[in-house]
Amino acid sequence: MNRRYRWVIVAAGGLLGCVAMGAMFSLPIFLRPMEHDTGWSVTGISTAMTIAFLSMGVASLTWGSLSDRYGPRLVVLAGSVVLAASLALASRAASLGEFQLMFGVLVGVATAAVFAPMMACVTGWFDTQRGLAVSLVSAGMGMAPMTMAPLAAWLVVAHGWRGAMLVIAGIVAALMIPTALLVRRPPPQDDAGIDMAAGEGQADMSVAQALRSRQFMLLMLANFFCCATHSGPIFHTVSYAVTCGIPMIAAVSIYSVEGLAGMFGRVGFGLAGDRYGAQRVLVIGLLAQAFAILAYVSVNRLAGFYTVAMAVGAIYAGTMPLYAVIIRENFPLRMMGTIIGASAMAGSLGMSTGPLLGGLIYDRLDSYTMMYVGSWGMGLAAMLVLMAFRPFHGRGLEVARAG
């Protein structure tokens, strides 16, 4: 039964991630309509997304630790309820500051309750095909641009941004709350078994030792720069396409193409990570991501946007699940929620840079070019940091204690 149910966990994680991330990433679709309707600046609205990522970062470690202690079901259920309520409140915001509080703080905190607990849960259910499993959960999250984004675009045209956000709040409640009830802890006997099978050699490592280790520090830093690389392009490319004269509905389809490519990228990178090693595949992916994002500078027509979006979507989406695989290969199962939560915190802090900096660059230069150039530089930094990572081997525990 356990072996069969683990795929239910994967499906639940994919659906929860799709709806949660889709709800949060509906803000780029609302960016221009909100600016026109309220008079709020692009920078001000973008700041709400930056705050959301910062809130995710702060909350991820806490949610991950609570997941280790109380199990993922309670954590994911709480996040689902808070997410639906916060989206409904944000749709009624009367001022920019109120919107930044409701969307930025509450939506960010609620979304964090899904990613780290579900990734930790899935890694505990699988002792084989782990890369594929976490990639499939991530692929579910990648469905958001193909499902929630077009829905948000249609809703905002039909009902305005406030009505659209309220409808999305209802969808979140209807789908996420029942799905959260399907989530279960990994079988307890898997802990020792998986740790011994992995040959980790640091099963008695404490959480404090893990957080002080060089391996942990490098993974967090690489994840920060990786997410800083693609956060601006993810948030601002629809707006960039509109400034190039592409209609809103067509511009949103670029987002959908990126998401579709990301599904194939997640599965492909997951399979490659299982076969060739997660770290090796991730280093190659980070290098490719940097140059793929830089290619946005050279396009201004829909066909060009589609071509670059396919490459960017496949690469950045494919790289992200590999961090969870590397963490599971180097740290004990009993602290997966905490360590993956810390990784999500680093990634969220990286993601927080793009929306704000991209908005500031556009407001000042009336161009997004320097945003893509800066993203390219951060992508190269992520690759170099990960190349310095060395897995725990033999004396891993002593290294962690010395740290």
pLDDT in tens, the chain (403 residues): 466 788 888 889 889 988 998 888 888 788 878 888 888 887 788 788 878 878 887 888 888 888 888 888 999 999 999 999 999 999 898 899 899 999 989 998 999 898 888 888 887 777 766 677 777 787 777 677 677 777 888 888 888 889 999 999 999 999 999 999 998 887 764 444 444 444 344 567 777 888 888 889 999 999 999 999 998 888 788 888 888 888 877 887 887 788 788 878 888 888 888 788 888 999 999 999 999 999 999 888 888 999 999 999 899 888 888 888 888 888 877 787 888 888 878 887 888 788 778 878 888 887 888 999 999 999 999 999 999 998 876 444 333 443 4
**Residue given tokens 């993922």 in the structure block:** 72
Q: Amino acid identity, residue 159?
A: H
**Distance separating alpha carbons of residues 247 and 71, to the nearest angstrom:** 45
Structurally, the chain folds into a number of domains equal to 1
CB atoms within 10 A of CB 256: 19
CATH code of the domain in which 277 resides: 1.20.1250.20
Q: Residues of 119-140 as b/e, b for ≥16 C-beta within 10 angstroms? A: bbbbbbbbbeebbbbbbbbbbb
**Distance separating alpha carbons of residues 230 and 312, to the nearest angstrom:** 9
Ranges of H-type helices in 181-213: 190-198, 207-212
Token output for 21: 């991330």
Q: What is the pLDDT of residues 45-83, one digit of tens each?
A: 878 887 887 888 788 888 888 888 888 899 999 999 999
Domain that holds residue 172: 2-402
CB distance 274 to 321 below 8 Å? no
Q: What is the pLDDT of residues 181-211, one digit of tens each?
A: 998 887 764 444 444 444 344 567 777 888 8
Tell me what pLDDT residue 147 has: 77
CA nearest neighbour of 52 among 115, 4, 94, 8: 115
Tell me what pLDDT residue 191 has: 43
**Distance separating alpha carbons of residues 47 and 41, to the nearest angstrom:** 10
Q: Residues of 143-167 as b/e, b for ≥16 C-beta within 10 angstroms? A: bbbbebbbbbbebbeeebbbebbbb
Phi and psi at residue 204, to the nearest 5°:
-95, 10
Tell me what pLDDT residue 165 has: 92
Q: Amino acid identity, residue 277?
A: G
Q: Amino acid identity, residue 139?
A: A
First to last CA, the chain: 41
**Distance separating alpha carbons of residues 236 and 355, to the nearest angstrom:** 7
66, 141, 300, 369, 372 from 295: Cα distances, Å: 41, 25, 11, 10, 8
Tell me what pLDDT residue 398 has: 38
Tell me what pLDDT residue 196 has: 45
CA nearest neighbour of 118 among 277, 344, 348: 344
pTM of the model: 0.69
CB distance 207 to 338 below 8 Å? yes
Tell me what pLDDT residue 188 has: 65
Tell me what pLDDT residue 235 has: 79
**Distance separating alpha carbons of residues 141 and 122, to the nearest angstrom:** 14
